[in-house]
Amino acid sequence: MRILWLSNTFNGSVHDKKICDNQPLHLPIGITLWQDTGFQGHDPDGVNVKMPTKKPKGNELSEEQKETNHSISSVRVKVEHAIGGAKICRIVKDRFRCHKFGFDDLVMELACGLHNLRMTLNNNAIAI
């Protein structure tokens, strides 16, 4: 899976939902947005949101909810693998000590670009 969009980078521990609320992301009407439970309450207009159902306290999920969660997880795992593919570049996952303006965004763009290049080369490989 290729990485198609990045937000700006943020210092410290800023929650993903807060970043998403502050970033100008305009999704096409009718697209399916596969999001994890960290984005509860994020429901853009004209978008079909697929998010796993959380287990209520003291109760269990129904078999249908478990099955739906499983199908959503099978898509989400590809997203997590793409994030891990970008983090192969050690500069992305270690403490970043360069304080030049915009350099942290550039490093993340390069790591994602390298991940996308690896995906392209792996998909175009010829089996002998």
CB 115 within 8 A of CB 3: yes
Residue with tokens 């089996």: 127
Residues 6+ apart with CB under 8 A from 119: 1, 2, 85
pLDDT, tens digit, for every residue of 72-117?
888 888 888 888 888 888 888 777 777 778 788 888 899 999 999 9
pLDDT, tens digit, for every residue of 30-60?
888 888 888 888 888 888 988 888 888 899 9
Quote the tokens at residue 109.
Answer: 């763009």
pLDDT, tens digit, for every residue of 8-32?
777 777 887 888 888 777 888 888 8
Count other Cβ atoms within 10 Å, centred on residue 49.
13
Burial letters 76-110, b for 16+ CB under 10 A, else e: beeeeebeebbeebeebeeeeeeeeeeebeebbee
Provide the whole-model pTM: 0.70
Quote the tokens at residue 23.
Answer: 């970033």
